[in-house]
Each structure stands twice: as structure tokens, then as C-alpha cells.
């Protein structure tokens, strides 16, 4: 198999764009499918679609590196629908890691297949098996399934006709990570030998390449153009706190960042519930999502975050798989991810479709020294910053309060109340009381200072455990405290008096401005290390033999 990262045949849409802008109609799709594309509001193909669709229409096996948000679902759904023969069997099988992703794939197939009268059936756990079997046997062309439940059905031999000529593994790395490898191999054994096989994966660990080698036939490998730089729109910030301060830090950071929508990642289901309850008690509207919840509770949480009635979703890695929430401005790593692939998945949920996103990690010094993720991860992508103190955020909240008051629509009875009040009481005193009352309800809570100071971070950063692969020195000493960028030290003239300047620094703890911060390195922020932590850090299906014979 050609190497995914170095495939000469990998042509990005940009290469082709040099000649002309690619349209959906250039890709070989038929009228009904193009009509569905237009009615879905898709104007131009995404990079992964432009690369994948022609190859899939030709019947080639395909190994694609792309993540949620790249348009990968339509990239495989459109050619799959186009190639349907309607020959009274299940023709397309899509395997996904979670029920949520299954639903998203079903929705996309249904939408894009509506002018070809495509029947799509969901096969997942937690729903009555007999109903799924009945729907498939009534004549579905497409089955979208999670591996466990599908395998149960295949073993029970209840499907009348099941010989998918196209098998798609969506988020293959996630499925392998969840331990589905044996189920997947077994499922392959129920499919025809000469099937077309497609795998999409956000990351390409060895296990994926191995599976591709075993199960695919000389696949074309493609990579979403921005795969390598897919985090370029995501600011990655690290805050270091003491063990007991983790929750205070999260609450403070949510308050200071004021995310449009955010996902907070926790290690376990229990942590997810605990964190959700704790931040809700502190006035932050949040919902948890994890595997112990029943489907309707999970759906409810998803609906609330999508509609915006809840801004914060607290999740485990597993529960968040495949979740596509637009306008996700922030991802918080409350607990460290297990490894860098998981980190990639987590933070890839923000910074989508050219929008800026922020990935905020909260870690203790012990995490930095001992946690597998931090030891494994080259750390120079992080900006290490100091959590804004309550005093620092006071100005910001005052501004917000004034803005809120200025934007509010005046109630009809307000003027009457005012004239009554002004004749009876001291209006200035009343205003001051009212303002204080509002300020109290809006103000930042929790201890004034949370997390390590700039000096403590620097002292930690000088230790070898922290600096990882030893690229130390070069960028050290450019933090907020000793900043070359002129950011005042906290408590050393950086207080209220610096009015306008404070305002620009307070949001997100001293960002000069969204994107600049990444490129400016040491200049603009409160980051402890100037944006760089010192140091860091064609498969062939063997002809005939290796693929088991289809038993259906
Ligand atoms: P996916 O990567 O498949 O999860 O898709 C992410 C989102 O992009 C989904 O909400 C799709 O409906 C949307 N989408 C897919 N293809 C296009 C396109 N060509 N233009 C605009 N939006 C798209």
C-alpha cells in the first residue's frame, strides 16, 4: 500500500483548482444525485469530496484521512447512491463507532438519496432487533450500523439478502480504539469477496494501515487537503493548576472565555456527571453525555446543545465520537486525553469550516510530568498561559454588564416606575444599589487567583520532565512575567487603572487577537513561554485467499 502521507497520487483539490474551480457536476454524478446536492445547499465540493467521488464512482477501494467536518459523509454517500443497482439486496454497508454517528450518516444518506428513492436502515444497539430485521428485509439498499449489533444479526442469519458490494468504515480509528477490530473482521467475512471497500479515518495509526492491508484491494489513498494543518484555526492553550483547583479553573475559564458552545472532556462517566453537576451549581448551564445514559437522554442533550439552549456539553471521549456540532467555539480538556490521537479527535471538534476555535487544556504539574499524553506529545504547539484572576476579570464583566443593560428593551412599566421613584426617593442611591445588585449576579465567582503563577510555571518548565524532548532554552523567558511583549505582570501595574488595555487582554486571558496569537509567538499574550513551551517534542487483498468467503 502506498504510504498515506506520501502518496504521489494524492492530488488535492487545490492542485486541480489551479486550473479551474471544481463543481459537483464535474465529478461524474448523475442528475438525481446532483439535484439532492443542490437541495442540501451544497454549492461546491469539499476537498475530500473532490478527491473521493470520482475514485469511488470508478469502483476503487479508498483509504481516506479526513475527520468529521470535512464533508466525508457526502464524499462516500454520493457515489454510493449513484452506483445503486436496486437489485433487491443490501448494496451498501456503513459501519460507524457510535449510535450518534450512525444517525448522522443515515440522515445524510436519506437527504442525498431522496430523488433515487433510497431506503436506508439503522442497525444499532438499544433498539428492538426485530424491527431492524424487518426493515432490512422489506428491501433496504443501505444499512448503517454499529458493529456489535450488526454482527448479532448476521450471526442469527435473519437477513434475507445481504451482500453489500460496497462496505464503508467511517471513523475507522475510533472503531478500532473501541475494540471493534475482531467484530469488523468477522463482518467482512459476511460480505462478498469482490466488494469495494472504503475506510475513512481521522488519524492513521498502524492498526488502520494493517487492517487496510488485510481487507482492501490496492486502495487509493487520499488525505483532506488541510489534514496536516487541520488545527491551524485552533488555538491550543495549556493552563497549569494545582490538583484541587481543576474545577475552579474550568469555571473561571468558561466565565472568561464565554464560549458560544463548548465541549468539556472528562476521563470517566462518573467525572462527566460530577463536573456537569458542579458547574451547573455554579451557574453554568451544562449537560452531560456518556454511555450510561439511555438513548433518549443522549438525544435530549444533543438537541439542547444543537439548539443552543445549553452551551456546555460535558462528555467522555466515547460519547463524543462523531458528534457534529456547528459553532463549537471551544473544547476544554478537563482531564488529559489518553493519547495524541484522542487529543486530535477532541480538538478537531472546534475550528471547523474555517472558523476559529480554541482548545483549552487544564493540567496539573503531575499530569505534565507523568501523564502518558503529556509525556508523549510534542508540547511546543501549546501556549502556556495563566488563568485570569477574579480581579482581572472584573473590568470585563463590568463592560459586559453595561453592554447588556444598553441592549435591553425597556419594559412598558419602567418609565412609570421611574417617575414614581424619582418623586419619592434618592435616585442616585437607588441606581447604585441596583447596579450593585446586578453586578453581584453577573460577577466572577471563585478564588481570586487560580493555578500556577508565571514564576511557578517557569520553574516547572525548567525541569527536564516538563521539557520533554529537550528542545529547551530558545523560547524560554518570554512569558508574561518577563515578557518581551510588554504585557504587564499581574499585580504589577496590570490592574484596573490600565483601562482600555486591560479590556483587550482580559478576554481569554490576554489574547492580542484570535489568530495573531498563534503566529506572534511571544508578543501578545500572557503565555508563560512565548507560545512555545521550552522543549517539547498498496495494500493488496491477497488474491483470493485472505478474504473469507461470503456466507450470504
Ligand atoms: P461530515 O464531515 O460528513 O461530518 O460533514 C460535516 C458537515 O458539512 C455536515 O453538516 C454536512 O451536511 C456539511 N457538508 C458536507 N458537504 C458539504 C459541501 N460540499 N458544502 C457544504 N456543506 C457540506
Domains 7-223 and 230-408+446-509 share a fold: yes
Please report, for the chain, the start and end positions of each structural domain, with discontinuous segments joined by +: 7-223, 230-408+446-509
CB neighbour list of residue 443: distance below 8 Å, 6 or more residues apart: 394, 397
DSSP state of 104: H
Q: Any idea which of 23-32, 43-52, 424-433 has the lowest mean pLDDT?
A: 424-433
What number does the ligand 1 atom closest to the CA of 67 have? 2
Run of H or E residues at 164: strand 162-169
Q: Any idea which of 243-252, 337-346, 499-508, 525-534 has the lowest mean pLDDT?
A: 499-508
Tell whether the model's pLDDT for residue 496 goes beyond 60: no
The better pLDDT of the pair 315, 522 is held by: 315
CB neighbour list of residue 350: distance below 8 Å, 6 or more residues apart: 234, 263, 328, 329, 330, 331, 357, 358, 359
For residues 61-88, average pLDDT: 93
What is the average pLDDT score of the chain? 78
φ, ψ of residue 265 to 5 degrees: the values are -95, 130
Q: How confident is residue 353, by pLDDT bands cut at 50, 70 and 90?
A: low
With beta carbons less than 8 A apart as the criterion, state whether 496 and 504 touch: no
Give the burial class of 240: count Cβ atoms within 10 A of its Cβ; 0-12 exposed, 13-18 middle, 19 or more buried.
Answer: buried
Q: Any idea which of 51-65, 305-319, 348-362, 533-547 has the lowest mean pLDDT?
A: 533-547
Q: Say which CATH architecture domain 7-223 belongs to.
A: 3-Layer(aba) Sandwich (3.40)
% residues pLDDT > 70 (the chain): 76
Nearest residue (by CA) to ligand 1, atom 21, is 42
Q: What is the DSSP string of 180-223?
A: -HHHHHHHHTTS-TT-EEEEEESS--HHHHHHHHHH-SS-EEEE
Tell whether the model's pLDDT for residue 259 goes beyond 50: yes
The better pLDDT of the pair 350, 367 is held by: 367
For residues 425-438, average pLDDT: 83
Q: Any idea which of 100-114, 120-134, 340-354, 518-532 has the lowest mean pLDDT?
A: 518-532
Q: Which residues pair with 312 in a beta bridge?
A: 262, 286
pLDDT of residue 237: 94
Tell whether the model's pLDDT for residue 461 goes beyond 80: no
The domain made up of 230-408+446-509 has a fold known as: Rossmann fold (3.40.50)
The binding-site residues of ligand 1, defined as CB within 6 angstroms of any ligand atom, are 42, 45-46, 49, 68-74, 324
Distance 108 CA to ligand 1 centre (A): 9
- Classify 514 as helix, strand or coil: helix
In whole angstroms, give the CA distance from residue 299 to residue 136. 24
Q: Which of 24, 42, 72, 108 to mutate to test the pocket of ligand 1 (most atoms within 8 A of CB)?
A: 42
DSSP state of 388: P
With beta carbons less than 8 A apart as the criterion, state whether 272 and 315 touch: yes
φ, ψ of residue 145 to 5 degrees: the values are -140, 155
Q: How confident is residue 229, by pLDDT bands cut at 50, 70 and 90?
A: low
Distance 314 CA to ligand 1 centre (A): 24
With beta carbons less than 8 A apart as the criterion, state whether 72 and 170 touch: yes
| pTM greater than 0.75 (yes/no) | no
Best CA proximity match to 3, nearest among 212, 167, 166, 196 = 212
In whole angstroms, give the CA distance from residue 280 to residue 303. 18
pLDDT of residue 48: 94
- Tell me the per-residue pLDDT of 114-172, one tens digit each, with 9 for 90 and over: 999 999 999 999 889 999 999 999 999 999 999 999 999 999 999 999 999 999 999 99
pLDDT of residue 439: 72
Distance 337 CA to ligand 1 centre (A): 27
In whole angstroms, give the CA distance from residue 419 to residue 152. 74
The better pLDDT of the pair 465, 362 is held by: 362
For residues 416-428, average pLDDT: 83
pLDDT of residue 115: 96
The better pLDDT of the pair 537, 372 is held by: 372
- Classify 176 as helix, strand or coil: helix
Q: Which of 41, 45, 64, 74 to mutate to test the pocket of ligand 1 (most atoms within 8 A of CB)?
A: 74
In whole angstroms, give the CA distance from residue 38 to residue 61. 27
CA 351 to chain centre: 8
Residue 214 grid cell? 488485510
pLDDT of residue 178: 87
pLDDT of residue 550: 35
Intra-chain end-to-end CA distance of the chain, in Å: 29
For residues 537-548, average pLDDT: 38
Amino acid at each position: 500500500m502506498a504510504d498515506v502521507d506520501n502518496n504521489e497520487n494524492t492530488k488535492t483539490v487545490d492542485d486541480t483548482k489551479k486550473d479551474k474551480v471544481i463543481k459537483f457536476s464535474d465529478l461524474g454524478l448523475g442528475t438525481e444525485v446532483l439535484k439532492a446536492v443542490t437541495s442540501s445547499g451544497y454549492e461546491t465540493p469539499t476537498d475530500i469530496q473532490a478527491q473521493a467521488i470520482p475514485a469511488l464512482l470508478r469502483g476503487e477501494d479508498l483509504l481516506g484521512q479526513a475527520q468529521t467536518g470535512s464533508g466525508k459523509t457526502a464524499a462516500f454517500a454520493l457515489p454510493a447512491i449513484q452506483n445503486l443497482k436496486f437489485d433487491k439486496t443490501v448494496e451498501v454497508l456503513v459501519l460507524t463507532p457510535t449510535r450518534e454517528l450512525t444517525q448522522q450518516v443515515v440522515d445524510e444518506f436519506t437527504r442525498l438519496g431522496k430523488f433515487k428513492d433510497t431506503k436506508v436502515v439503522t442497525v444499532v444497539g438499544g433498539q428492538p432487533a426485530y424491527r431492524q430485521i424487518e426493515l432490512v428485509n422489506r428491501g433496504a439498499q443501505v444499512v448503517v450500523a454499529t458493529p456489535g449489533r450488526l454482527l448479532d444479526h448476521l450471526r442469527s442469519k435473519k437477513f434475507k439478502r445481504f451482500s453489500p458490494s460496497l462496505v464503508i468504515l467511517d471513523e475507522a480509528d475510533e472503531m478500532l480504539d473501541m475494540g471493534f477490530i475482531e467484530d469488523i473482521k468477522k463482518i467482512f467475512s459476511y460480505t462478498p469477496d469482490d466488494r469495494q471497500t472504503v475506510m475513512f479515518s481521522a488519524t492513521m495509526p498502524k492498526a488502520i494501515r494493517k487492517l487496510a492491508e488485510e481487507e482492501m484491494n490496492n486502495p487509493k489513498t487520499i488525505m483532506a487537503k488541510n489534514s496536516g494543518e487541520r488545527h491551524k484555526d485552533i488555538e491550543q492553550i495549556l493552563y497549569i493548576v494545582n490538583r484541587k483547583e481543576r474545577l475552579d479553573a474550568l469555571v473561571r475559564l468558561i466565565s472568561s472565555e464565554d464560549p458560544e458552545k463548548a465541549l468539556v472532556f472528562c476521563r470517566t462517566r462518573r467525572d462527566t456527571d460530577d463536573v456537569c453537576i458542579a458547574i451547573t451549581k455554579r451557574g453554568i448551564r451544562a449537560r452531560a453525555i456518556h454511555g450510561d445514559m439511555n438513548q433518549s437522554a443522549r438525544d435530549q442533550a444533543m438537541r439542547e446543545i444543537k439548539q443552543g439552549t445549553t452551551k456546555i456539553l460535558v462528555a467522555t471521549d466515547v460519547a463524543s465520537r462523531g458528534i457534529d456540532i456547528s459553532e463549537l467555539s471551544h473544547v476544554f480538556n478537563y482531564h488529559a486525553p489518553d493519547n495524541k490521537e484522542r487529543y486530535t479527535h477532541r480538538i478537531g471538534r472546534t475550528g471547523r469550516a474555517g472558523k476559529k476555535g480554541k482548545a483549552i487544556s487544564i493540567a496539573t504539574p503531575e499530569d505534565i510530568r507523568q501523564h502518558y499524553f503529556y509525556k508523549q506529545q510534542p508540547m511546543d504547539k501549546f501556549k502556556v498561559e495563566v488563568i485570569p484572576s477574579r480581579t482581572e476579570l472584573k473590568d470585563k464583566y463590568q463592560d459586559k454588564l453595561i453592554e447588556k443593560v444598553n441592549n435591553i428593551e425597556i419594559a412598558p412599566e419602567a418609565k412609570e416606575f421611574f417617575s414614581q421613584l424619582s418623586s419619592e426617593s434618592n435616585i442616585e442611591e437607588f441606581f447604585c444599589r441596583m447596579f450593585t445588585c446586578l453586578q453581584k449576579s453577573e460577577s466572577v465567582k471563585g478564588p481570586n487567583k487560580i493555578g500556577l503563577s508565571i514564576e511557578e510555571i517557569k520553574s516547572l518548565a525548567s525541569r527536564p520532565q516538563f521539557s520533554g524532548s529537550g528542545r529547551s532554552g530558545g523560547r524560554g523567558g518570554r512569558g508574561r512575567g518577563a515578557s518581551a511583549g510588554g504585557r504587564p505582570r499581574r499585580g504589577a501595574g496590570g490592574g484596573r487603572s490600565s483601562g482600555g488595555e486591560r479590556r483587550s487582554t482580559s478576554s481569554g486571558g490576554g489574547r492580542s487577537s484570535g489568530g495573531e496569537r498563534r503566529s506572534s509567538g511571544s508578543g501578545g499574550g500572557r503565555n508563560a513561554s512565548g507560545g512555545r513551551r521550552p522543549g517539547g517534542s498498496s495494500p493488496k487483498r491477497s488474491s483470493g485467499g485472505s478474504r473469507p468467503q461470503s456466507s450470504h
